[in-house]
A and B are shown apart, each in its own frame.
Chain A
Amino acid sequence: MSHIHIKNLTKSYIDKRRVARFNSSIATNNVINVLDNINLEFEDGEMVCILGPSGCGKSTLLRMIAGFEAPTSGEVLINGQPINGPRADNIFVFQHSGLLPWMTVWENVELGVRHLKDISQKHKTIQEYISMVELTGFEHHFPHQLSGGMLRRAELARALAVNPDTLIMDEPFSGLDFLTHMKIREEVVNMHEFIKKTTLVVTHDIDDALIMGDRVIVMSDRPASIKLEKKLDFGRPRDLGQNPELRELRDEIFFMLGVSYAI
């Protein structure tokens, strides 16, 4: 169970490079406002896709939900409790592989279940999640021996093996070739249909957001605020080509982000 409530969340950084370069004494010049008063709620089991121009603070938002960074003001509540650091029921899937490169796939997946006392149960769980992401036969491979798609799958298996309440995915398909992208996207959707964990996905791909999300959120340029929040009550399988309503929404989002799909 996880119900996430983001209340009046604001984040700003001191721009250290600017301070160093201009030696500026005017403090306000050196502050970068990343997030400006964000209010959001994520329901339990929901898959929410967050879109926004690059550098707008989408990842910062995710990192604060994961507890990697503290808000400047406001708070993130999970089931009513404020987040005060990273925890294992709130797993972050990194944009570039977060697998530990000195551990095999098996050892990486084991991280989430390493405290299980029952060894045979532990091994069963690890094998189960490795099979789920179709990496059987690659248990004892190191990350550098895997392809980009396999790396994402392995990290997904590691995240799911913890049985977290929330999965936080930062651009999970970036750097993949087109077909692998499609395949992993399908797997993430199937996985979500199956386990119904609250899943937050940051992406810059509008099609991904519209195909995957139960809800889509569009953020503005920095300092980011919420520009659009839309529930996507469409069944599956979803096809942008077949669904005029989704296509219209896509064009609306493109317009919002200042680009046009048709050229």
Chain B
Amino acid sequence: MFRREIIFPLTTFLSILFIWELITRFSGWSPQVFPSPSAVLISMQELISNGALLKHSVASLFRVSIGFFLAVILGIPIGIILGRWQTAKLLFNPLVQFLRPISPLAWIPLAMLWFGIGDLPAIFLIFLSSFFPMVVSTSVAVESIKPTFFQVAANFNFNRYEVITKVVMPAITPEVITALRLTITIAWLVVVAAEMIAVQSGLGYMILDSRNALRMDYVMVGMIVIGVIGLLLDYIMRILGNIESTAWGRLSK
């Protein structure tokens, strides 16, 4: 129970809460501008008990799940094709590299024009934010598979399907799981921004709406919940990285 791994981070968080409380007491800023942790805690209870927090969190998670899921099921196969097939790489890699650095937020005007108001533009933006990292990580992972494994495959007369399912997919699994972990974080960053423009629900909307109402305590509740959910998403992805089929990747390097 009293392990360093738990005690130390806890100490950091508690110290920050303490300093925060001190600043709000002695800085002379009004609680409307800089609410104290205790005030934020009370507001959080309020938002939990009236169900608003749950509703907004679920809305955000729903959009992230759909957009991220679409990005993964399209991004991994496309990454495999780009990694395995030189012609496809020459044709499409420059396009991917060109689109990748364009922030998904730059797509907001077009997304709203194309998909209107509602879940769709937000999902589209999350999809964009996750799709390119998945494609790039997957194709890099495929290209770095040891040539020996393909020679073994050829030696044992693997057909194309077997090369993909018995060599390529298991070989890239550890890297792909790492990519999932990094990408879900990006998707979570983007959902909040996306919800500030086109929808009437979600944690991003909640923050913007609270700002308009000058409720900085609600803004801070929103930020805290975003952080906690982000931690949870990362934790889930990390568990995924520990499953047995990737043990060889962790232990043989």
Interface residues of A (CB under 8 A from B): 66-68, 85-88, 90-92, 94, 96, 98, 100-103, 111-112, 142-145, 162
Contacts and interface: CB of A to CB of B under 8 A. Distances in A.
A86 B166 contact: no
Nearest to B162: A114
B88 interface: no
Interface string B32-61: 000000000000000000000000000000
Main secondary structure of the interface of A (DSSP, over half): loop
B221 to A, nearest CB: 45
Contacts of A143: 248, 252
Interface stretch (B62-70, B109-117, B145-153): B145-153
Given A94-B148, A98-B151, A100-B149, A112 B248 contact: no
25 contacts: A66-B151, A66-B155, A85-B154, A86-B154, A87-B157, A88-B155, A88-B157, A90-B155, A92-B155, A94-B148, A96-B148, A98-B149, A98-B151, A100-B152, A100-B167, A100-B170, A101-B248, A101-B249, A102-B170, A102-B245, A103-B170, A111-B156, A143-B248, A144-B248, A145-B251
A64 B59 CA distance: 60
Interface SS of B by simple majority: helix
Interface of B: 148-149, 151-152, 154-157, 166-167, 170-171, 173, 245, 247-249, 251-252
Contacts of A90: 155
B178 to A, nearest CB: 16
A100 B151 contact: no
B155 A101 contact: no
- Residue among B151, B155, B247 with the most chain A CB within 10 A? B155
B155 A144 contact: no
Contacts of B173: 102
A91 B151 CA distance: 10
B151 A86 contact: yes
Contacts of B167: 100
A178 B183 CA distance: 48
B23 to A, nearest CB: 51
B156 A162 contact: yes
Given A98-B148, A98-B151, 6 more contacts: A66-B155, A98-B149, A100-B170, A101-B249, A102-B249, A103-B170
A143 B248 CA distance: 8
Nearest to B156: A111
A90 B167 CA distance: 20
A100 B166 contact: yes
Query: Which has the most chain A C-beta neighbours within 10 Å: B151, B156, B173, B247?
Result: B156
Contacts of A145: 251
B154 A142 contact: no
B248 A102 contact: yes
Given A98-B148, A100-B167, A102-B170, A144 B252 contact: yes
Contacts of B152: 94, 98, 100, 111
A143 B252 CA distance: 8
Nearest to B170: A102
